[in-house]
Structure formats: C-alpha cells, structure tokens
Chain A
Amino acid sequence: MTLRRALTFVLSCLTFFWLAPGNATAQSSTFNAHEYFLDNGLHLVVVENHRAPIVTHMVWYRVGSIDEYAGKSGLAHFLEHLMFKGTATMAAGEFSKTIARHGGQDNAFTSFDYTAYYQNVAADRLALVMEMEADRMTGLVIDENEVAAEREVVIEERRMRVESSPNAQFGEKLRALQYEAHPYQVPIIGWPEDLATLTREDALGFYDAFYGPNNAIVVVVGDVIPADVKALADKFYGPLPRRQIANRSHTPEPTHTKAQTLLLRDARVNQPSWSLSYMAPSYGVGDASYIYALQVLAEIIGGGNVSRLYEKLVVEDEVAVYIGASYSPLRLGPASFRISAAPHGEDIDPLAPAVAEVLAEVVKNGVRPGELSRAKRSLTAQVIYAQDSGHGLANVFGSTLVNGRTIAELEAWPANIEAVTNEDIMAAAKHIFVEAQSLTGILLPEADIPEPGPEPAPESGAEMLDSGAGE
C-alpha cells in the first residue's frame, strides 16, 4: 500500500459516480449499455468492453442486512456464505472449485442494502457461470453438516474484522449511534450473540423470501456481444419461475434533535482517531436535489491534499496529519457526510473548532470558481478511469441499479455534476451542517497511557463483507 493510500483508503472507496434522480438530461451514451427485462422479471444489463478477452458476470439481489429481523442479525451475510454450499446438481464446496477449474475467480459480498455474487472468467466461459448462478438462484440445497462449520467461519470472520481492530469496533459503535432506529445501526456481519443462533432454516427462510429472478439484476461486462448474452440469459435464467418476494420495509430514522459525541478508549490504540458526521440525503431518503452539490462539496473540502480541510488542519495549523471528507448517497436509507481526521500528536482539542471554521466559511461565502472547476474535473474524470476495469464497471452498474437508479441517470451524472453552482453548494452545506444532526467520534488510548495521536475512522472492511477464503 502506498503511503498516501495507507492514510486515505478509508475514504477512497465510494465517492464514485453517484447520480441524483429527477434531472437526468439527454446525453450521448458513454457506456453504450444494453438493457433487457426477461418475462420472469429478471433485469439484465450488458456492457461491451473488448480490452481483454474476459468477462465479469454479477448477480445483484435487492436484499441486504437491513432486511433481517430481530434476533437474527448477520443472516443476509450468513446466507451469502451458504450460497456456496450447493444445489441439486452441485455438491457443497464445488461452486468455487468449478469456477477455478475454468481459470475463473469468484466471490460475493453483502452490504446493508444488497447482496452480490460475481465471477471473472475468460469470455468464452460466460455460459458456464450463468448456468451455475441460475442454478443457485432458486435451487439452493444446504446440507445440515455444512451449516455448523460455516457458522464458525462467520464468527471467525467477525473476530478478524471487528474484534481484532479497535478502529472497527469504534466504527461499529459510531454506526449504532448514527442510526438510532434505522437498521443501518446493526452491523452487516451481525452481533456475536445473534450469529451463534443462526440456523439452516433461518437461512433457507431468508432465501425463499428474497431470492428469485424478479428480485435480481444480472450485470455482464466484457468481451461479449449483447445479443449473445441475451440469448444465454434467456436459456439459463429465462426458465426460472417468479418467486413471491417479501416486502422490504424499514424503520425510518427519526429526525435528530441533539448533537452526540462518542468517546471510546481502548488500550490497543496507539494512534487516536477523530470524526464528525452529519445526516445527509441519499437517493432513498431526504431531499435528493442536494446530492450533486454535496458530492462536489465533499471533493472541495475533503478530497485529496489540496482540499480546504487538508490545507487548514494539516498544512497551516498543523493540528492533523490527515483529514478528508466522504459522502456516499447511493443507498436506500439515510446517508451521512463524514469528516475523518488523524490528529497531529496527542491533542484532539483543536480539530473540532478548526473544522467548524472551514464548514462555516463554506456556508457563509461559498467556494471559489477555481475550486469548483477543479472538483468537477476531478469527479468527471472518474467516468473515464472507471472504464479501464470491466469488473469496476460492473460494480458501478450493479450498485446503481440495485439501489433503484437507472442507466439514464448514470449516463447523466457528469452533466449533472457540471451543472452544480456555487449557490447550490452553499444551499447544500447550509442544509446538512446542522449541529443537532451531528455525531462526533473520538477514539483514544486508555487514559493512563500517555501516548496519543488520532487517526482516521473505522476500517472500511466492515462496510462490505465477502466470503473469500484468502485475503
């Protein structure tokens, strides 16, 4: 990991591409995506990318950890693991081995809002992986003997990702405070007490409630011809019957009326962390008209080493060694606008007032034209960089569509970013930087250990879990 990445990776992941609804404008097509709907409700998207003779095949299901029920946290992710345990035609453990025999790589991941499975293979293996995914879309068979060991695997995964990391534990507690009622308060991987109770029947019940062609989006990106892919999808996915999909209904987050602070001390901490987050609109919740402006705002105040926050706190005041901002509106539930910092030395006290000064300045006087154009260029260049990776593009399309957005909105994203004005940014900043809706997080060593020094927020690993065997 490069030095810069070592400091910033927490924030680097999800700024990407996220469009806002409503004001999509007509645009020439950047991606030339082909979209099909099968009679059984399956949504298929194909993007040609002939740079290498490979293809990424992904299936995205509209179900995630927020769809779990009380006492069974971690169930969506547990089911994701059990999806590799076989069907009527595929023995336990054979799924990934079969992909590997064909030179392919496969994995899956579970998020709050969705669950996805993918294979990267030579383009001429697409039929194989499609047949296999279609097979387990409605035909999962789980041997009781596999369940107990896999439950232990998931518990070890939690020990590795969460219990072994003070930063991940800090992140978990912060989320529980950030969301007082919405199920984002529950960790994707689940609470340990719940994990111990998960059964085969729980998993199959969840599977029956949410898996099926009418709740799936298949994304294929690579060295393929769209009509050929459609024919393969008709052959393998087409015969699957529609299934009755359970309602997705989630407790809304009440309006926050009091600023909160979490102070956590942990003897393992050598490098303190500080964060400040505000509730913010997402595509799913809140006033989406602010979304583009907030993306530009995050870039201007907290993107990279020339941002306002970095300039003030790291370069001028020397009160932080790192600071950045992140905002990911592409979710079904309420989003947050988050600022994370690693203090310089042991003193976190100067961080909050310095950050407040930067935010107040934007609310009051807005941003400079040069900052605005720089941020827009930086954001819109991502559209070109994204096309370098077929797998990355498949992620962009899948996460967009699974959140209820459209290809037209994705295509219109650069134009909508370009349209953001200084006034939009001022209005958006004023809208979200409300103290009563803020959460401050502080992670410190135990009080009797005299070495402080803060650092970024929770490890991003907890945001998305995969079932990979390796690292």
Chain B
Amino acid sequence: MKHICLVASIAFLCFLKPATAAEVQEVVSPGGVIAWLIEEHSIPLISVEYEFTGGSSSDPQGKEGLAYLASGLLNEGAGDLNARAFQKRLDELAIRMSFDADADQMSGSLQTLTDNAEDAFQLLGMALADPSFDQDAVDRVKQQVLAIQRRESQRPRSVAVKAWMASSFEDHPYGRRSKGDEASIIAITADDLHTFTQRHFALDNVIIGVVGDIDAQTLGEFLDLAFADLSEEADVDPIANVVPARDYDVDIIDQDVPQSTVIFGSNGLRRNDPDWYTAIVMNYVLGSGGFASRLTEEVRRKRGLAYGVSTQLVPRDHAGLFIGTVATQNARVGESVQVIRDEIQRMADFGISPQELVDAKTYLTGSYALRFGTSKSAAGQLVGIQRYGLGMNYIDRRNDYIEAVSIEQVNRVAKRLLQTDNLFWVIVGKPEGLPEDMSITPDASQPQSNGSGS
C-alpha cells in the first residue's frame, strides 16, 4: 500500500488533549445547584447543556408522546409571558433555547451572548419551573407533532427504525413510539404536562454542563436563576432493564420504492459495561469507521451496493443496542444482507488484525479533541461525563482507556456481542434475494400505514 511519507511517523504521535481536567470546574451555586464549567473567554458567548433523567419511556400508557410534546411547549409561554411574549423576548435577545426528549432523558440547550446571559438564565428558569401550557399553545404544538409523525411516516428509515424498536421491545417502553400516535397525542392534557415537568424537573435529577465566557462566581448566581426554583427531589417512575428479543429474523414492510432500507441489530452494551471501550474499538473496525470500516470497504467500495453502511453501539440507560443500517436497490439488497452477515460472522470468528487495532486507536484517540470543537459540543461532553459518573479527570484519562484495549480483548468482545443468529432485521421496500435461511414474520407484507405515526 502506498502512502505519502508523513504516515510513517504515526505510531509515535502524541495527540493533544482537548482540554485538561484542570480546566473543568465544579460550580456549586448559593442555592445548591451543581454544574461543570469550562471557562472560555475568547468569544462573548455561553453554551449551557443540561438534562433531566426520564424521557419518553416515562410516558403513561395511552399518553405516548407526552415528553416529546412537553419539549415542544417549554418555550411557548412561562410565568407571566404568553407564548408570543416569551418567543419575542428570546428573539430580541438572540437567545437560543431549545428542548428535546429521547427515551431516557429530557434535555435542553441554552446559548446566549454574554451581555444577555442574566436574562437568558432567568427565562430558562421560568420555562422549567413555571411553564404555562396554555390551551391554545398546547393545541398548536399537538398539531405540529402530528405533522411530524406524518412526515416521518414518509421516510423509509424512520419507518424501519420504529418497526425495529417495536418488534424488539414488545412489552417495554422502548418499543413504544416516543412521539406517540394521533390518539395518544390528542389524549394529553395540560395537567399531564404539568405533572410530567413537576415530577421530572428537580434538583436531584439534573446534570448541567457550561462552556463559555462566564466565570464560576457569576455562573453560580445565574444557575440559581435557572434551576433553584425546582423542587428538591424528582419522582420518576423506574424503568426495567431489558434485552431486545424476537423470535424471527426479518420484518418486511412493503413499500413501492426502488431501494430497500435496512435496519439490523441485536443486544449491545450499556455505557458502564466493563467491555465498553473494547467494543468501541471493535465496532470502529467493523462498521462505525466510515471509509476505514470493513463494512464500507466490502459493501460500498468493492461492490457499490450502497452509499452508506454503518453500525453503532447505542447505550440506553436500561438496554444496550448494536444497530446497523444500509440501503440498497431492491434487486441487490439480498447481496448486501449476505455481505453484512458474513462480515459480522468473520469479526466474531477471527477478530481484528494488529494493524486494525493500531488504526482504530489512533483515530479514536486523535479525534477525541474534535468533540470539543464548539462550546455547545464541549458542554454536551461535560453532561455526558457526569451522566455516566466518569469523574472530573475523565477528559485526561479517556484516551488511556482506548490505548489499554488489547487485541485479545477485542476478539473476545466480538464473540460476545456479535452472533449473526441473533440479528434482527427490518427491511422497508420490495427486497429480493434475501438469504433463504432468514425467517420472515408471518404477517410480512403489511401495507404502508397511513398517518399512523409509525
């Protein structure tokens, strides 16, 4: 293989650290709110990322979509400001305030110019502790959620992911639609929304990361504006741990499109699993490494079967997932499925080579700094490190965990994680030539549902 000369020096490179643990401060506000802070004063900008444990998995039966609906309503009126007044205030001050809900968390993001920081934290405090949920705003945002559901039902990938989750987590909240369906969204009341935020938004349930043009003392004061009015203790329903399970190989969702969109996956790892870093290295070689991954090499480069093919490890709070995706023309999708199965089996049987281990490590360690490229992404890193209890010096130690991974460990974890017999597949399209040993769900060709928010 021909490289240009600089590549030769690679084994000796010592990558820079993105920031050092010494730069991360723990700030405790007068009101007892805790946040991690990296001061960065070169631009008059502050980014705050935070999250509350408990997301759409906590939605009550029949009210699926509650957390997601709440995320769309938190900046639609609070305190004495109605939706329009609140939005205008944000707009006038160029404050960027957004909320999101996933299965395990309600998260939020606040970005402000330094000059407007006090107002920004104050408005956030109103949104979290005193949201209005006025009926007109609730009705309006419900219609928006329904429109998003319908729009997603037009996207093969969304349809496939939802079908995969539904069939793999049949009796668990992870299998439900995080955005609900039409009936469940309509059923949600303003009282439900208030109950949700009051139970979840509490001081013992929040994680905060801040990066930007603010010192620790000022941040302490401002944190109280945003968070100190919350209740002391959250009341979040416990969610059971779960493993994805299904007793057949493939769901086919018939759609009249020229390309089949495929989602495949199996049980993976939760974030605190001792094999986590080893699995990250293994998965880089297999499917998350872009052009450096085996799947891209075999499926895309050698055979032209797809524009994109990848796998990822998805650590949920109560389950671990190994999920992959590919999209190939209907006539050749069977070939894609077979190549992917072969590569997964090869990884399980034979593991990786010494060179692949070196390449994976230099990428994973060298690219860590890129995660700190913006204040928003750096603040997100501070939240993630706290979420998993990784410790304040994690930024200094993280690459050591990657460096410590051995080839024997990778090969053991590949065997542990990757079993082609246990892969579940969902295919949206009109697939041809699937491997004959794949068992198909009995009610295979369900027509595309119309507006069900699938």
Chain A, 297-332, contact with B by CB distance < 8 Å: what is the 0/1 string?
000000011100001001100100110000000000
Q: Which of A104-135 contact B (CB under 8 A)?
A: 104-105, 120-124, 127-128, 131-132, 135
Interface range for A? 35 or more
In this assembly, does B135 line the interface, its C-beta being within 8 Å of a C-beta of chain A?
Answer: no
What is the distance, in angstroms, from A239's C-beta to the closest C-beta of chain B?
15
Q: B397 → chain A, closest Cβ, in Å?
A: 17
A138 at the interface (CB under 8 A from B): no
* Known A151-B304, A267-B256: A455·B147 in contact at CB below 8 Å: yes
B304 touches A152 (CB 8 A): yes
Shortest CB distance A226–B (Å):
16
Is the pair B328, A122 in contact by a Cβ cutoff of 8 Å?
Answer: no
> Measuring CB to CB, which residues of chain A are less than 8 angstroms from any residue of chain B?
1-7, 50-54, 84, 89-94, 96-98, 100-105, 120-124, 127-128, 131-132, 135, 146, 148-157, 159-160, 163-167, 267-271, 304-306, 311, 314-315, 318, 321-322, 342, 344, 374, 377-378, 381, 384-385, 387-392, 449, 451, 453, 455, 468-471
Which positions 255-282 of chain B face chain A at CB distance < 8 Å? 255-259, 261
Checking A4, A50, A344, A391 against B143 with a beta-carbon cut-off of 8 angstroms, the contacting residue is A344
Interface window among B199-207, B365-373, B385-393, B417-425: B365-373
Contacts of B83 in A (CB 8 A): 305, 315
* In the complex, chain A residues whose CB is within 8 Å of the CB of B248: none
Q: What is B's interface to A at a CB cutoff of 8 Å?
A: 1-4, 6-7, 10, 13, 15-19, 40, 42-45, 47, 68, 71-72, 83-84, 87-88, 91-94, 96, 98-100, 111, 113, 136, 140-141, 143-148, 150-151, 153-156, 255-259, 261, 288-293, 296-297, 300-310, 325, 327-329, 359, 362-370, 372-376, 378, 448, 450-451
A269 surroundings in chain B (CB, below 8 A) = 154
Contact B302 A149 (CB under 8 A): yes
Shortest CB distance B344–A (Å):
17
Chain A residue at smallest Cβ distance from B14:
A124
Nearest residue (CB) in B for A7 is: B144
Taking a contact as CB atoms under 8 Å apart, the answer to whether B259 and A3 are in contact is: no
**Option from A131, A165, A381, A449 in Cβ contact (under 8 Å) with B113:** A381
Alpha-carbon gap, A314 to B329, bound state (A): 40
List A contacts of B258 (CB < 8 A).
159, 163
Task: Decide: B47 and A150 in contact? CB cutoff 8 A.
Answer: no
CB contacts (< 8 Å) of B308 on chain A: these are: 160, 468-471
Q: Are A156 and B372 in contact (CB under 8 A)?
A: no
Q: How far is A471 from B154 in the complex, measured between Cα atoms in Å?
A: 18
Please tell me if the beta carbons of B373 and A306 are within 8 angstroms of each other in the complex.
no
| A103 engages B363 (CB within 8 Å) | yes
Of A3, A91, A318, chain B has the most CB atoms within 10 Å of the CB of A3
Taking a contact as CB atoms under 8 Å apart, the answer to whether A94 and B1 are in contact is yes
In the assembled complex, the Cα of A52 lies from the Cα of B211 at a distance in Å of: 12
Shortest beta-carbon distance from B188 to chain A in Å: 14
A97: B residues at CB distance < 8 A:
291-292, 359
Name 9 extra pairs, CB < 8 A, besides A156-B306, A322-B144, A455-B151.
A2-B72, A3-B144, A6-B148, A7-B147, A51-B375, A128-B7, A304-B91, A388-B374, A469-B291
What are 24 inter-chain pairs, A to B, with CB distance below 8 A? A1-B100, A3-B71, A4-B98, A5-B98, A90-B2, A91-B2, A92-B301, A93-B291, A97-B359, A98-B3, A103-B365, A149-B301, A149-B302, A153-B307, A154-B307, A156-B327, A159-B259, A270-B450, A271-B147, A377-B92, A381-B94, A385-B45, A388-B43, A390-B373
Give the distance in Å from the alpha carbon of A468 to the alpha carbon of B308 in the complex: 7
Contacts of B293 in A (CB 8 A): 469
A102 nearest CB neighbor, chain B only: B366
Known: A54-B370, A160-B327, A469-B290. A131 touches B4 (CB 8 A): yes
Contact across chains for B147 and A322 when beta carbons are under 8 A apart = yes
Contact B367 A164, beta carbon cutoff 8 Å? no
Residue from A104, A153, A271 within 8 A of B304 (CB atoms): A153
A346 to chain B, nearest CB (A): 11
Complex CA–CA separation, A52 to B19 (angstroms)? 8
Known contacts being A4-B72, A122-B15, is A50 close to B42, with CB within 8 Å? yes
CB atoms of B369 and A122 under 8 A apart: yes
CA distance A96 to B93 in the complex (A): 42
Q: Is the CB of A149 within 8 A of B47?
A: no
The reply to whether B289 and A100 contact each other, CB–CB distance below 8 Å, is yes
- Cβ of A270 and Cβ of B363 under 8 Å apart? no
Assembly CA distance A87 to B305 (angstroms): 24
The minimal Cβ–Cβ distance linking B73 to chain A, given in whole angstroms, is 9
Q: Across chains A and B, which 5 residue pairs bring their CB atoms closest together, nearest first?
A: A103-B366, A152-B304, A381-B94, A149-B304, A271-B150
